[in-house]
Amino acid sequence: PYTGPSAEEIFKKRKEYLNPAIFHFYKDPLNLVDGKMQYLFDEKGRRYLDAFGGIATVCCGHCHPDVVDAIVNQTKRLQHSTVLYLNHAIADFAEALVSKLPGDLKVVFFTNSGTEANELAILMSRLYTGCHDIISIRNGYHGNAAGTMGATAQSNYKFNIVQTGVHHALNPDQYRGVFGSDGPKYARDVEDLISYGTSGRVAGFIAEAIQGVGGILELAPGYLPSVYSTIRKAGGLCIADEVQSGFARTGSHFWGFEAHGVVPDIVTMAKGIGNGIPLGAVVTTPEIAKVLTHRSYFNTFGGNPVCTAGGLAVLKVIEKEKLQENAFKVGSYLKERLTSLKEKYDIIGDVRGRGLMLGVELVQDRELKTPAKSETIRIMDEMKEIGVLIGKGGFHGNVFRITPPLCFTKEDADFLVDAMDYTISKM
């Protein structure tokens, strides 16, 4: 049993000593002390079904024994910097990772986070093309360092940075967007941005296939192929930010971009890649990778032996336990059940997403689509009381984000929907 400090004591210390900007879920924040696969346990040993940990980090399940063993064994043997010496862990993981990617995406740069991965992808695009302008999509999230904060297109996450050379295109948002699900129409905005806002040449384009922080918005069909072709005509590179949608989460494919039938020039990843340990990666072509040989470029811990040993174990678990197939099967079932809840309750304006990356948008009025913000918080809180943890997001904070570890079962899906059904019915 847990014998450490109580939630109240930790909360008090956090308020006194930690970053005052960090936020927490729930009126009474949870003190989580143990995790096992899709379950989390608080200080009193109470069990919660985790339907959000997938986004935070966990793809195989909390404390998956194969991943833990790989990390512990490597830690006991050697932990060191990634640069200067040889070690098999980093080389083996790079080889395995590349085998999951299409086309000529064959060279890996490891980082410690998604922000670092996107910073590097943007840097490489600028070096490769000799241009500065980057186009990203409104409502996207790509990180919080200087360059990525510029590419991030939500005021909620922007500070007073010098934001040069980024243009934010219309969001091909199928729920609220002006062109509905007509992807190619939204894509014309990118053409306009290039024609009117740049020299006619750009460094690149960055997008998530499904916006995660933005509220589980899947780009309208036909958008990405059209934009990729426009960007390439303007000399730019296409970057797929797979930090949330990668690693089998969308079920139908291993990577989110694959559902759109495109092959990016650069793919960035983090979060699920290491099942919770700090790891990120940029994968690109040998030709693009060469741009970094003009100077010295390194990352002390990006791809260190311990993290890459964990990463390799994650890939093996995804294969062995058929987690992509499971994400597809359980995700499709869960989406169907959530969609039937939408028929029952007017407050549910939209159910969307793919595999185990699903969103439920709450509105006060289906016509006006007025965000039901406080209701979202209340339902989340009540669901926690029943023992189910879900996330929230979207620009207005009115979208439930359901992104469980990929070992989620049909029974878990039923419990989640029943808990949501009961909670909404009481309101």
217-218/204-207 β-pairing: unpaired
> Binding ligand PMP by CB under 6 A: which of 114, 150, 177, 303?
114
Whole-number Å distance between alpha carbons of 380 and 390: 7
Least distance (Å) between residue 422 CB and ligand PMP: 30
Least distance (Å) between residue 269 CB and ligand PMP: 9
| Window 63-82: residues binding ligand PMP (CB under 6 A) | none
Q: If DSSP codes are grouped into helix, strand and coil, which group holds residue 176?
A: coil
393 scored as a contact of ligand PMP (CB under 6 A): no
Stretch that binds ligand PMP, among 84-92, 114-122, 165-173, 382-390 (CB under 6 A): 114-122
Kindly tell me which of 97 and 243 has the beta carbon lying closer to ligand PMP.
243
Least distance (Å) between residue 172 CB and ligand PMP: 16
213 scored as a contact of ligand PMP (CB under 6 A): yes
Q: Which residue(s) pair with 32 in the sheet?
A: 42
Q: Please tell me what DSSP assigns to residue 62.
A: B
Q: Which residue(s) pair with 268 in the sheet?
A: 241, 282
Least distance (Å) between residue 299 CB and ligand PMP: 13
Q: Are 122 and 206 in contact (CB under 8 A)?
A: yes
118 scored as a contact of ligand PMP (CB under 6 A): yes
209 scored as a contact of ligand PMP (CB under 6 A): no
- 329 burial class (0-12, 13-18, 19+ CB within 10 angstroms)? middle
57 scored as a contact of ligand PMP (CB under 6 A): no
141 scored as a contact of ligand PMP (CB under 6 A): yes
Kindly tell me which of 56 and 91 has the beta carbon lying closer to ligand PMP.
56
Q: Which amino acid does the sequence have at 266?
A: I
* DSSP class per residue in 353-394: EETTEEEEEEBS-TTTT-B-HHHHHHHHHHHHHHTEE-EEES
Whole-number Å distance between alpha carbons of 280 and 238: 18
Least distance (Å) between residue 394 CB and ligand PMP: 13
Whole-number Å distance between alpha carbons of 393 and 4: 31
111 scored as a contact of ligand PMP (CB under 6 A): no
87 scored as a contact of ligand PMP (CB under 6 A): no
150 scored as a contact of ligand PMP (CB under 6 A): no
Report the residue count for the chain. 427
Kindly tell me which of 266 and 348 has the beta carbon lying closer to ligand PMP.
266
> Binding ligand PMP by CB under 6 A: which of 113, 136, 230, 326?
113
x/- contact string, 237-276, with ligand PMP (CB under 6 A)?
A: ----x-xx-------------------------x------
Least distance (Å) between residue 282 CB and ligand PMP: 12
228 scored as a contact of ligand PMP (CB under 6 A): no
131 scored as a contact of ligand PMP (CB under 6 A): no
Whole-number Å distance between alpha carbons of 425 and 422: 5
Kindly tell me which of 38 and 112 has the beta carbon lying closer to ligand PMP.
112
Query: At CB < 8 A and 24+ separation, what contacts does 38-46 make?
Result: 38/62, 38/404, 38/405, 38/407, 38/408, 38/409, 38/412, 40/389, 42/7, 43/2, 43/4, 43/6, 43/7, 44/2, 45/1, 45/2, 46/387
> Binding ligand PMP by CB under 6 A: which of 115, 284, 308, 403?
115
353 scored as a contact of ligand PMP (CB under 6 A): no
- 287 burial class (0-12, 13-18, 19+ CB within 10 angstroms)? exposed
Q: If DSSP codes are grouped into helix, strand and coil, which group holds residue 237?
A: strand
31 scored as a contact of ligand PMP (CB under 6 A): no
214 scored as a contact of ligand PMP (CB under 6 A): no
Binding site for ligand PMP (CB under 6 A): 113-115, 118, 141-143, 208, 212-213, 241, 243-244, 270
